[in-house]
């Protein structure tokens, strides 16, 4: 898959970098997205590669550069769905593991930054235009306040921005691995089903693409429906949105409520009066349904803090490649 659409978040025509284009990457458990930044804010040559098609991360980078006629690249920054501590990176939701320095040398780069993907996505938030997101429910952002970010994809990403000295500090968070907290009897039943297989049930285990399949299996068991208990996530979503399968509808309803809980937990933890943003690949696929889903009502359902949360806006990010903007900003600051 490829795209020739240039990503512009501001109407600028900046001069090209004198030392050549910069390589940008956004690597998840399923897809590795790459682009070249030719000038500040001018991001092009976007390609999406399947991680499973390449034995190593470096192989994927080389395949991408080959598709782009091997431009001379000296500086690169990669956002990856993983904790980044030190030189060694081992992905949580894919088999790739690599040394950052060894990869830099193999690719003949002067600079190779590898950062958490949701730290990069968070850094893109100040650059988003109103057309790049859709507000869900009410609330109004308080200027200069902390911002939260959560997104369901292959896993569950969590991040945030803290204002400090006129700039933004991105949080490197692995909040998707907090313990799942059920909010009603149905979710208690889902958790009890998961305990049959897992001693620790994280939020990511359920609030993610693969998590939708697990919710389906749990509710099928709970309702006494054992046929098609291994239905795949795309089919569950399709049936739910088409209104042809009541169990699938219940699964997506349950998923959206769970996402509302984790978003609210993040909001009160950070004091995110600047808003909570929803990224990841799952929610955009739900389309208009998400607006009417239990997400926002669950977000505001916080007992004594319900009024506090009602004032915090929530947004779905609709920009196609926002992480590139964030990782480019991190590379530029470096």
pLDDT tens-place string over residues 84-135: 889 999 998 899 999 999 999 999 999 999 998 888 999 999 888 888 999 9
Say whether both 239 and 328 belong to one domain.
no
Contacts of residue 152, Cβ cutoff 8 Å, sequence gap at least 6: 207, 208, 209, 211, 259, 280, 281, 282, 283
Residues 58 and 169 in one domain: no
Domain around 146: 129-318
What is the CATH number for 298?
3.40.367.20
> Residue 67 contacts by C-beta under 8 Å, 6 or more apart in sequence?
2, 47
What's the burial of 251, exposed, middle or buried (CB within 10 Å: 0-12/13-18/19+)? buried
**Same domain, yes or no: 215 and 293:** yes
For residue 329, give the DSSP letter. H
Is there a single domain that holds both residue 158 and residue 304? yes
231 & 139 share domain? yes
**Do 138 and 243 belong to one domain?**
yes
For residue 67, what is the domain's CATH number? Answer: 3.30.420.40
Tokens encoding 182: 């059920």
Rounded to two decimals, the pTM is 0.85
- Residues 288, 198, single domain; the answer is yes
Domain shared by 186 and 239, yes or no? yes
Q: Which token pair is 268? A: 């009160």
Nearest C-alpha neighbor of 154 from the set 231, 94, 232, 114: 94
Question: Do residues 326 and 297 share a domain?
Answer: no
Are both 153 and 164 inside the same structural domain?
A: yes
Burial (Cβ within 10 Å: 0-12, 13-18, ≥19) of residue 89: buried
Q: What is the 3-state secondary structure (H, E, C) of 255-272?
A: HHHHHHHHHHHHHHHHCC
Residues 147 and 12 in one domain: no
Please report which confidence band the pLDDT of residue 12 belongs to, taking 50, 70 and 90 as the band edges: low
How many domains would you assign to the chain?
A: 2
Q: Indicate if the pLDDT at residue 1 is higher than 50.
A: no
95, 7: one domain: yes
Average pLDDT, the chain: 92
Residue 303's region, left for phi above 0, alpha for psi from -120 to 50, else beta, is left
- Mean pLDDT value of segment 299-303: 97
């Amino acid at each position: 898959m490829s795209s020739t659409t240039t990503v512009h978040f501001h109407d600028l025509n900046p001069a090209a970098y004198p030392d050549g284009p910069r390589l940008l990457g956004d690597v998840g458990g399923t897809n590795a997205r790459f682009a070249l930044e030719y000038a500040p804010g001018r991001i092009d040559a976007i390609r999406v590669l399947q991680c499973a098609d390449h034995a190593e991360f470096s192989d994927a980078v080389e395949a991408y550069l080959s598709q782009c006629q091997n431009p001379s690249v000296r500086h690169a920054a990669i956002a990856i769905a993983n904790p980044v501590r030190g030189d060694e990176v081992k992905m949580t939701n894919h088999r790739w593991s690599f040394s950052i320095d060894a990869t830099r040398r193999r690719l003949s780069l002067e600079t190779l930054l590898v950062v958490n993907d949701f730290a990069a996505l968070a850094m893109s938030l100040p650059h988003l235009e109103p057309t790049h997101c859709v507000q869900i429910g009410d609330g109004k952002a308080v200027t200069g306040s902390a911002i939260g970010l959560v997104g369901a994809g292959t896993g569950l990403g969590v991040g945030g921005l803290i204002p400090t000295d006129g700039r933004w500090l991105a949080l490197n968070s692995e909040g998707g691995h907090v313990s799942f907290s059920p909010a009603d009897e149905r979710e208690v039943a889902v958790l009890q089903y998961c305990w049959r297989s897992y001693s620790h049930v994280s939020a990511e285990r359920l609030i993610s693409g693969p998590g939708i399949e697990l919710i389906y299996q749990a509710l099928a068991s709970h309702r006494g429906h054992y046929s098609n208990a291994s239905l795949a996530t795309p089919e569950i979503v399709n049936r739910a949105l088409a209104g042809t399968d009541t169990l699938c509808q219940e699964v997506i309803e349950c998923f959206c409520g769970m996402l509302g809980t984790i978003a609210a937990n993040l909001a009160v933890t950070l004091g995110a009066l600047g808003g909570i943003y929803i990224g990841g690949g799952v929610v955009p696929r739900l389309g208009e349904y998400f607006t009417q889903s239990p997400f926002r009502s669950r977000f505001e359902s916080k007992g004594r803090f319900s009024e506090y949360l009602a004032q915090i806006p929530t947004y779905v990010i609709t920009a196609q490649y926002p992480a590139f903007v964030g990782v480019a900003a991190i590379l530029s600051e470096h």
